Amino acid sequence: MNDADLVSAYRRTRYELRLTPPVRVRIGAPVAPLLSSTAIVTAYNPASEIRTADVNARADSRLGDVLTAWGIPLIRSIARDPDGPEEWTEPGYAVRGLPRVVVVELAETFGQNAIVWIGGDAVARLVVTRRGFAGLPLGAAIRNDAP
């Protein structure tokens, strides 16, 4: 899949934070203001290359260990593409209170293309975490209205 197709897939994806009650997040949509400065990050399928369940589970565990070592409360997230295979889901973490640049660097170390970032305006955006992804520099937000 090329970068434009991946960006389209990320936009279609529905992200759910495993809170009580669950919180649903869509790219370009506003969320509750209490979620400002929140990122959704995963360690699954680096650079959108499919990995085995075992490899993904180990990467996910390492990401959880890093966040725990940093003293970050673990809030589970799950991503689902409603137009993708029914069995496709990708676990991750909602990370609150870390600066965007720190989460971008973290996701970069796990080989991810992008994170979901909810900034001060409480709108979910895709942010590049792999140099050159979608033709953008590391840390750049992908415009929500771009094709």
Helix-, strand-, coil-residue percentages of the chain, each rounded to 5: 30, 25, 40
Is 147's pLDDT higher than 50?
Answer: no
pTM: 0.93
Looking at residue 34, its pLDDT comes to: 87
pLDDT in tens, 20-63: 999 999 999 999 888 999 999 999 999 999 999 999 999 999 99
- Any idea where the domains of the chain sit in the sequence? 3-142
64-93 average pLDDT score: 89
